[in-house]
Amino acid sequence: MPAEPRLADVIAIACAEAFRGNGEIFGSGMGIMPMLGARLARATFEPDLMVSDGVAFYVDGDLPIGSSDKTVESWIPFRQVFDSLWGGRRHVMMGASQIDRFGNTNIANIGPHNQPKVQLLGVRGGPGNTINHDVSFWIPKHSTRVFVESVDMASGVGYDRAARLSKWVQANHRLPRVVTNLAVLDFETEGNTMQVRSLHPGVTIDEVNEATGFELAVAETLAESRAPTDEEMAAIERLDPGELRYREIPN
Amino acid sequence: MTKLVTPDEAVATLESGMTLGIGGWGSRRKPMSLIRALLRSNVTDLTVVTYGGPDVGLLCAAGKIRKLVYGFVTLDSIALEPHFRAARQGGTIPHVVEYDEGMLQWGLYAGSLRLPFLPTRAGLGSGVIDVNPDLKLVTSPYDDREELLAVPAIRMDACFVHMNRSDARGNSQYLGPDIYFDDLFLSATDIGHRFVSCEKVVATESLLDEGSFHTLRINRSMVDGVVESPNGAHFTSCEPDYDRDESFQTEYATAARDPETWHSFVNTYLAGSEADYQEAVRAR
């Protein structure tokens, strides 16, 4: 019998759900929960999804987090990562140090770019990712420090910035989900501003609003984030035998 | 004709003020022995173009960078390069040009093809445009009339990359999982100062002993000098010859946090020749 699901397991499912319906594209997760999400989606309801070892290979079957005992199904060196992402055949779930109501994100720097107060990762692939394919976000600590009125540097393009670009960009730009330790959010509103889609068990809408530095919409269908099924819970245990998810999200 | 030179002979051909491309990616297969030789030289005031790792950190710490054109600077297993972070927060790199990772590839590719620019959507609408006001847009001449970003070609005066094997004329081989963009760095550099360091120089007829012909992506027309430099990528990874030296990298990153410990790190590892460095690493 699989163990009783905890918060980290609900979040793993929420991350996996971001990839539902993606089919035969590269499902790429940056960090433990997103990586677990992509691999969990592939192990359960999204069997055609392609996942990598984070080095240079697509892997077949279940690859537990932290394991290198892999079955290579293809090769994906960085040049082909860029080709696949510019070709739109990819969905990334990544972190963000700041995010605003339109989904502009910042992983680059806090303070001015010419001399940052804090140098973070830099823009990395964020600009190219967000303009070419689906990008979802995982925010482990939902707070007003992260959910801000405006980002210091737009390493990722949000809906208001995309709306000023070409018709092609507007048709292809999509930020499917923002998963946090409190809730699941999306941009499926009229003006593409952020809304709460579901609350994790025990979390209230007031708590989410208090932890957010701008006004959130609330989905008419607001629900509780779902728990994994027994089959999904077994897959989570298989994919994260070292229980790294509980270290990232203690109950 | 043999192109074999030592790291110091390679660096002696460079001049201050040059634009230098550095291959590898983060803390992976970096031409570290050539970087160490550069640290021993008086060459300074450089424009450095790279997917940065400790190469950028060391050159920042030595105050040799005037302009940095980069996709990122990271140690991979340690997310932030400590010297780079200090240099950015201290405002000590006079000119920074930060690109999206794919934009940098496009600039190098345009440079290698002798085109003035290549169009892309990567970067449009992002902060990269806000902080690089020199970037220009271009309108598609076809019916779509789409407005795209024109990434300007990057050309370099000198280039360092590190490979697993080379022959004495510069035909070179990577045996690891990824060539990164090393071929583009070499192709976008003017003839004269294109240096490949390698783990081992082998006879031309032995180049296929350890890998298939697919690994021969760098030919001798792309290379002016070959440096045999065993363990030359240390402490970055050089698969399959060796993995990253994580404990040394941690020592490096820890030392970099404080001027005093950094001074002592320099004295222990970087004050002498490449042979002295390798000896000090072995003696740890």
ipTM attached to this prediction: 0.95
Whether A1 maps to a domain, the answer reads: no
Alpha-carbon torsion (A13, A16, A21, A24), positive or negative: negative
With beta carbons under 8 A apart, name residues in chain B contacting A120.
Answer: 80
Among A60, A70, A65, A69, smallest CA distance to A36 is for A65
Range of the domain at A127: 7-248
- The count of domains in chain B is 2
Q: Which of B50, B98, B100 to mutate to test the interface with A (most CBs of A within 10 A)?
A: B100
| B27 and B55 part of one domain | yes
Q: Which residues contact B221 (CB under 8 A, 6 or more apart)?
A: none
B8 and chain A: CB distance < 8 Å anywhere? no
With beta carbons under 8 A apart, name residues in chain B contacting A86.
Answer: 102, 120-122
- Give the Cα separation of B204 and A149 in Å (integer): 61
Of B89, B100, B146, the CB nearest to A123: B100
- Is pLDDT at A4 greater than 90 in this prediction? no
Whether B2 maps to a domain, the answer reads: no
Contact status, residue B55 vs residue B27, Cβ threshold 8 Å: no
- Is pLDDT at B67 greater than 90 in this prediction? yes
Alpha-carbon torsion (B276, B277, B280, B282), positive or negative: negative
Average pLDDT score, chain B:
98
| B248 and B164 part of one domain | yes
| B129 and B182 part of one domain | no
| B124 and B189 part of one domain | no
- The count of domains in chain A is 1
Q: What are the phi and psi torsion angles at A159 (to 5°)? A: -65, -35
With beta carbons under 8 A apart, name residues in chain B contacting A162.
Answer: 125
- Give the Cα separation of A29 and A99 in Å (integer): 18
CA A55, distance to chain mean position in Å, is: 19
CATH number of the domain residue B172 falls in = 3.40.1080.10
Average pLDDT score, chain A:
96
- Is pLDDT at B214 greater than 80 in this prediction? yes
- The reported pLDDT for the residue numbered B225 is 98
- Give the Cα separation of A11 and A181 in Å (integer): 7
pLDDT in tens, B103-115: 999 999 999 999 9
The span from the first CA to the last CA of chain A, in angstroms, equals 21
CATH number of the domain residue A244 falls in = 3.40.1080.10
Q: Residue A23's CB: how many other CB atoms inside 10 A?
A: 12
Q: What are the phi and psi torsion angles at B150 (to 5°)? A: -95, 100
Interface contact flag, B100 A57, Cβ < 8 Å? no
Interface contact flag, B102 A157, Cβ < 8 Å? no
- Is pLDDT at B194 greater than 80 in this prediction? yes
Whether B123 maps to a domain, the answer reads: yes
B72 and chain A: CB distance < 8 Å anywhere? yes
Q: With bands split at pLDDT 50, 70 and 90, how would you rate the model's confidence at A21? A: very high
Q: Residue B216's CB: how many other CB atoms inside 10 A?
A: 15
| B246 and B124 part of one domain | no
Whether B251 maps to a domain, the answer reads: yes
Contact status, residue A108 vs residue A121, Cβ threshold 8 Å: yes
Q: With bands split at pLDDT 50, 70 and 90, how would you rate the model's confidence at B244? A: very high
- The reported pLDDT for the residue numbered B103 is 98
Interface contact flag, B89 A82, Cβ < 8 Å? no
Interface contact flag, B85 A119, Cβ < 8 Å? yes
Q: Residue A178's CB: how many other CB atoms inside 10 A?
A: 27
Of B70, B122, B147, the CB nearest to A132: B122
3 state DSSP class of B116: coil
Range of the domain at B126: 117-152
Express as a percent the part of chain A with pLDDT over 90. Answer: 95
Number of helices (H), then strands (E), in chain B: 10, 11
Q: Is B203 exposed, middle or buried (0-12, 13-18, 19+ CB in 10 A)?
A: exposed
| B162 and B65 part of one domain | yes
Q: With bands split at pLDDT 50, 70 and 90, how would you rate the model's confidence at B43? A: very high
Identify residue A242 by its one-letter amino acid code. G
CA A137, distance to chain mean position in Å, is: 3
Mean pLDDT of B187-211: 98
- Is pLDDT at A251 greater than 80 in this prediction? no
pLDDT in tens, A37-92: 999 999 999 999 999 998 899 999 999 998 989 999 999 999 999 999 999 999 99
Interface contact flag, A128 B102, Cβ < 8 Å? yes
Whether B46 maps to a domain, the answer reads: yes
Q: Where are the beta strands (DSSP E) in B167-249?
A: 172-173, 194-201, 225-228
pLDDT in tens, B23-42: 999 999 999 999 999 999 99
Contact status, residue B14 vs residue B146, Cβ threshold 8 Å: no
Interface contact flag, B96 A157, Cβ < 8 Å? no
Q: With bands split at pLDDT 50, 70 and 90, how would you rate the model's confidence at B21? A: very high
| B93 and B25 part of one domain | yes
Interface contact flag, B70 A122, Cβ < 8 Å? yes
- Give the Cα separation of A59 and A63 in Å (integer): 7
A161 and chain B: CB distance < 8 Å anywhere? yes
- Is pLDDT at A1 greater than 80 in this prediction? no
- Give the Cα separation of A91 and A80 in Å (integer): 15
Contact status, residue A218 vs residue A193, Cβ threshold 8 Å: no
- The reported pLDDT for the residue numbered B1 is 84
- Is pLDDT at A2 greater than 80 in this prediction? no
Task: Retrieve residue B106's tokens.
Answer: 């496009």
| B57 and B87 part of one domain | yes
- State the residue for tokens 């990008």: A135
Interface contact flag, A127 B124, Cβ < 8 Å? yes
- Give the Cα separation of A200 and B127 in Å (integer): 33
Between A250 and A19, the higher pLDDT residue: A19
| B130 and B229 part of one domain | no
Number of helices (H), then strands (E), in chain A: 9, 14
Q: Residue B40's CB: how many other CB atoms inside 10 A?
A: 16
| B244 and B158 part of one domain | yes
Interface contact flag, A124 B178, Cβ < 8 Å? no
Which residues 136-195 of B are in CB contact (within 8 Å) with A? 144, 146-147, 177-181
- Is pLDDT at B20 greater than 80 in this prediction? yes
A93 and chain B: CB distance < 8 Å anywhere? no
- State the residue for tokens 């404990």: B247
With beta carbons under 8 A apart, name residues in chain B contacting A169.
Answer: 121, 124-125
Rounded to a whole number of angstroms, the distance from the CA of A197 to the nearest CA of chain B is 27
